[in-house]
Amino acid sequence: MEIILNKVSRRFNREWIFKEINYTFSSGNAYALLGINGSGKSTLLQIISGSLAPSAGIISYKDNLGNPIEVDDIFNSVSIAAPYLELIEDFTLQEIIKFHFSFKKRFLHQSDDEVIAILNMVANKNKAVKYFSSGMKQRVKLALAFLSDTPILILDEPTSNLDEQGSNWYQEMIKSYTENRLVLIGSNQAQEYSFCKNQLYLADYK
């Protein structure tokens, strides 16, 4: 799969967040989108995921056979975990897993109980998400993204709200669930993207 950016630009009001990004992302590679807070990392990830349109330029997608994918259909190929995506807080953990996988295929056909075990949250499976700590919610978001069978994995600020144990868990998930996928990490924390061989600096496109 490929994602091709051709002079992709975005502005809010009269201010350009970034301008004329020319870049190609391809399957089997991991990319870090880097920059200070407010540099446009999240904005670019939203454009790539199809949830936000560029102000100028063109973004296009191709499947593994080189066939074009319409932007309106790209959501089928994307899993995403991001601070601006909220969980349904009145659902229990078990309910939110079942709900999520009614829309996404399971990566290795794990059962709900296996997903809960991967999260190390067996004791919390019947607890409403609204009673979870911020770190627990973040782990749930990440697990749902990692364990969805999609060729594109987008993680924005993935270790936000995670303690050391949670950060170690994130690293194990990276090792286990990113092979052969196109991985995009929006970050300014080195431990989140240290495995990414490709780095895109938003400051280069101001």
Q: Is the pLDDT of residue 108 over 90?
A: no
> Nearest to residue 101, comparing CAs of 83, 136, 93?
93
Give the pLDDT band (50/70/90) at residue 24.
very high
What are the φ/ψ torsions at residue 169 (nearest 5 degrees)?
-60, -40
For the beta carbon of residue 42, count every other beta carbon within 10 angstroms: 19
Q: Name every residue whose Cβ is closer than 8 Å to that of residue 174 and which is 6 or more positions away in sequence.
A: 195
What would the two tokens of residue 91 be?
A: 């659902």
Number of domains into which the chain is organized: 1
Task: Answer for the pair 183, 30: CB distance below 8 angstroms, yes or no.
Answer: yes
Domain that holds residue 20: 2-205
Share of the chain above pLDDT 90, in %: 92
pLDDT of residue 199: 96
Task: Answer for the pair 32, 185: CB distance below 8 angstroms, yes or no.
Answer: yes
pLDDT of residue 128: 97
Give the pLDDT band (50/70/90) at residue 14.
confident
Whole-angstrom CA distances from 139 to 21, 97, 124 are: 31, 12, 13
CATH number at residue 11: 3.40.50.300
Share of the chain above pLDDT 70, in %: 100
pLDDT of residue 18: 96
